[in-house]
Amino acid sequence: MLVDNQHYRTIWPDTSGGVPSVKIIDQTRLPHEFKVETITSLEQMVVAIKTMQVRGAPLIGAAAAYGMALALLNAADDAYLHISAERLIASRPTAVNLRWAVERMLLRLLALPEQARRQAAWDEAALICEDDVLLNQAIGTHGLQLIERMQAEKCRTLNILTHCNAGWLATVDVGTALAPVYAAHDAGIDVHIWVDETRPRNQGASLTAWELAQHGVPYTVISDNAGGHLMQQGQVDMVVVGADRVTSAGDVCNKIGTYLKALAAFDSAAFGHWVPFYAAVPSPTIDWNVSDGVKAIEIEERHADEMAWMSGRLASGEVARVNILPQGANVANPAFDVTPARLVTGIITEQGVFAPDQLHMMQRTHF
């Protein structure tokens, strides 16, 4: 996607120097600063994932794949590969893409003699990135058809609400939830996006708003608590979110607060304007081993500092962090929640749009 009219992906290998490294866009600095960082080791990649310099389910999968390639700069034996894989998998537990990407790397590498593994790791990580872009483009095509049908029916600006950031910054490129939005905007359809700010880390306000602006898509940032009111008032036509994991039964695990949006979308029917709720996901986000998401998905508990500290630009222009809690306040910070399938209208995938109870019709091409 474009940053100041220059095309970027969120992650790419750099082989220009003697030792290969990986470039990432540091998302902790956006929207105030666009900074590309260089990652040279497995350890640095683990830190980048944990501190959310890279984030979003598909992107942390791609980052973990390159983490494996960086690990192989140290050693290429089976034991070291397994240790590196475990370190990466433990870095963030909820998004299944991370485990999926690491297991895909292991499957490819362990089948090879040690001396062939180094180059194969860079090749496989690059393939994972290419696949991600293709899957997201296909999600955009299928989601666009939904939007086109809605546009033909309503013949006015379509208001789409999204939560967190499931745009190109959360993937290698294109995005998941925002892929249909970009496709619709590029096709000349009048779309306007309600962007949930997404406390505590404000991925909506900081990242989604920033990337929509870069692409010229009209948007309005709202507080996390405003979505229910807007839906009740008929000001939302559709909710589209990404996901960190979708179960075989169609439960959608995504950024904390998604469940409340799905409840409000469902209840808006009582006020005469039901709002469809879609999750847009590539197949590596589907965990075929889990059915009941509420019971089985481990929800990442993040540090209290994310609740206590907010960063922003001061009137002086300086970017600073401020503490917003009373000293010693108790804090709970679960990072994700699970929206049960009964509240989900459809799952937009690269293979088409599926009702949650029809997800089993998908071809399992990615494991």
Of 77-85, 188-196, 242-250, 356-364, which segment contacts ligand MRU by CB under 6 A? 242-250
Instruction: Using the minimum distance from each CB to ligand MRU, give the nearer residue, 57 or 81.
Output: 57
Which of 143, 180, 204, 242 forms a contact with ligand MRU (CB under 6 A)? 242
Dihedral of the CA atoms 219, 24, 144, 269 (nearest 10)? -50
Q: Binding of ligand MRU at residue 162 (CB under 6 A)?
A: no
Per-residue DSSP letter, 165 = -
Q: Binding of ligand MRU at residue 99 (CB under 6 A)?
A: no
Q: Binding of ligand MRU at residue 247 (CB under 6 A)?
A: no
287 belongs to the catalytic site: no
Q: Cα–Cα distance between 129 and 44 in angstroms, integer?
A: 19
Q: Cα–Cα distance between 232 and 236 in angstroms, integer?
A: 8
Residue nearest to ligand MRU (CB): 242
Q: Binding of ligand MRU at residue 204 (CB under 6 A)?
A: no
Identify the helix (H) or strand (E) that includes residue 319.
strand 319-323
Q: Contact letters (x/-) for ligand MRU, 296-335, by CB under 6 A?
A: ---------------------------------------x
Q: Binding of ligand MRU at residue 84 (CB under 6 A)?
A: no
Of 33-41, 50-58, 72-80, 223-231, which segment contacts ligand MRU by CB under 6 A? 50-58
Region class of 178: left (phi > 0), else alpha (psi between -120 and 50), else beta: alpha
Structure tokens at 218: 């009209």
CB of 265 to ligand MRU, least distance (A): 16
Q: Cα–Cα distance between 306 and 251 in angstroms, integer?
A: 26
Structure tokens at 128: 């994972």
Per-residue DSSP letter, 268 = G
Sheet containing strand 21-25, edge to edge, reads: 11-14, 21-25, 36-39
Of 53-61, 70-78, 107-115, 339-347, which segment contacts ligand MRU by CB under 6 A? 53-61
CB of 48 to ligand MRU, least distance (A): 12
Identify the helix (H) or strand (E) that includes residue 311.
strand 309-313
Q: Which residues contact 165 (CB under 8 A, 6 or more apart)?
A: 55, 56, 198, 203, 204, 206, 207, 208, 211, 242
Structure tokens at 230: 């807007």
CB of 348 to ligand MRU, least distance (A): 12
Instruction: Using the minimum distance from each CB to ligand MRU, give the nearer residue, 151 or 224.
Output: 224
Q: Which member of 173, 196, 224, 244 is catalytic? A: 244
Instruction: Using the minimum distance from each CB to ligand MRU, give the nearer residue, 105 or 164.
Output: 164
CB of 50 to ligand MRU, least distance (A): 11
By annotation, the residues acting in catalysis are: 244
By CB under 6 A, name the binding residues for ligand MRU.
55-58, 95, 164, 166, 170-171, 176, 203, 242-244, 254-255, 335
